[in-house]
Amino acid sequence: KELLDDPAFAKERVTRRAQAVSANVLMLRGVLLADAGAREQARDELYKSWKLVDDLCKEQPGVTADPLHLYHRSALRAMFGELGSTADTAEQRRQRLDDLRLAAERLGPGHKHPDDIENFRAFKSLANDPEFKNLMSDLRARAGAKPPTAPAQ
């Protein structure tokens, strides 16, 4: 309780939240720029996002990385793989899939359903990878059917 009342702790929470929002905005801009064919600009935005997200994912005593930050980091890695100037090695693809698996399992299907993950543009470069398809199948088996969305009003 004392820690929660500490003004320095409150400021740290706000700062981390702002950092997370900025990272997400930069990542989404990078994804949109990649779709528009602006690869260089996309990489720049994604790199800015990476610096923020990677900091949020660093291990700290008594702090567990937010699963959403891990998910964003895995999406960024997938985008870097797509936009890189050299082809991925098998090890790099495996690492990207391992990162995604960890993030998805920690998030749980209530936050990111496998259908949503599979349809997220950032993972387009992995879509035809048999290991990615296996991962999505495994996650779907654990998640069950996706809840229906509310009809538009």
Q: What is the pLDDT of residue 26?
A: 93
Residue 77 to residue 97: CA distance in whole angstroms: 10
| Confidence grade of residue 50 (pLDDT, cut at 50, 70, 90) | very high
HSE at residue 62, side-chain half, CA atoms within 13 A, is 1
Residue 46 to residue 48: CA distance in whole angstroms: 5
Q: Is 16's pLDDT higher than 90? A: no
Instruction: Tell me if the pTM is above 0.85.
Output: no
Weakest-pLDDT range from 17-21, 46-50, 83-87, 147-151: 147-151
Residue 31 to residue 47: CA distance in whole angstroms: 12
Cβ neighbours, 10 Å, residue 59: 7
Q: What is the pLDDT of residue 10?
A: 45
Q: What is the pLDDT of residue 1?
A: 38
Weakest-pLDDT range from 5-9, 16-20, 128-132: 5-9
